[in-house]
A and B are shown apart, each in its own frame.
Chain A
Amino acid sequence: EVQLVESGGGLVQPGGSLRLSCAASGFTFGSAWMSWVRQAPGKGLEWVANIKQDGSEKYYVDSVKGRFTISRDNAKKSLYLQMNSLRAEDTAVYYCASSPYWGQGTLVIVSS
């Protein structure tokens, strides 16, 4: 059974940092492009970042460039999102995804 399990979300103050993790199982993680997608409360889906199988290529939506870093550890079958300089508008459920597989999401709230 394929599983993507996110963790690391929570409440953080504006300007703070969080590191999200995604543990994968049940598929060949090292052969898959991986993505982070977020959804603010009551809003649509927003692609955040993705990373090539070997980590050699990474892409970000403009609003997070310079603040977020996507990375992966194929030996641990894990995906990460380091989020710095967080803003209120980063508040969302963050999903780890590799189509057609999605995690259940982890909630990040940026608020003082």
Chain B
Amino acid sequence: DIQMTQSPSTLSASVGDRVTITCRASQNINNWLAWYQQKPGKAPKLLIYQASSLQSGVPSRFSGSGSGTEFTLTISSLQPDDFATYYCQHYNYYFGPGTKVDIK
């Protein structure tokens, strides 16, 4: 089975900061990676699919990159609405453990 890891597990940042989250797969998954944002009590929201494609309606400050086994999610300028937990997922399969972005 493919294992997904994320770092860091928690990230403290301020509004306006550039934030980067890393996701690693234990095997080559090409670009079959998605990024989700989840807020407490809510279903996850798709941000990025196929590693770097921005889901319709998602602000352009979110971007994804990578292929193979290493991927990144970048928020170019953190906004108040972005404080949440972020998960990577190997398409239709395993999730990473999550990265909580909280207020510094």
Interface residue ranges, A against B (CB under 8 Å):
33, 35, 37, 44-47, 50, 59, 61-62, 95, 99-100, 102-105
Q: Whose C-beta in chain A lies nearest to the C-beta of B97?
A: A44
Q: In the bound complex, do residue B49 and residue A99 qualify as a contact, i.e. CB atoms below 8 Å apart? A: yes
Contacts between chains A and B (CB distance < 8 A), count: 44
Give every chain A residue within 8 A of B91 (Cβ-Cβ): 99
CB distance from A47 to the nearest CB of B (A): 5
With contacts A45-B87, A45-B98, A62-B1 taken as known, whether A50 is within 8 angstroms of B43 at the C-beta atoms is no
Task: Give the number of chain B interface residues (Cβ < 8 Å).
Answer: 21
Q: In the bound complex, do residue A50 and residue B95 qualify as a contact, i.e. CB atoms below 8 Å apart? A: no
Q: How far is the CA of A57 from the CA of B79 in the complex (A)?
A: 41
With contacts A62-B1, A99-B49 taken as known, whether A47 is within 8 angstroms of B43 at the C-beta atoms is no
Give every chain B residue within 8 A of A35 (Cβ-Cβ): 92
Q: How far is the CA of A96 from the CA of B97 in the complex (A)?
A: 19
A37, A100, A104: the one contacting B55 at CB < 8 Å is A100
With contacts A62-B1, A99-B34, A100-B55 taken as known, whether A45 is within 8 angstroms of B46 at the C-beta atoms is no
Q: In the bound complex, do residue A95 and residue B98 qualify as a contact, i.e. CB atoms below 8 Å apart? A: no
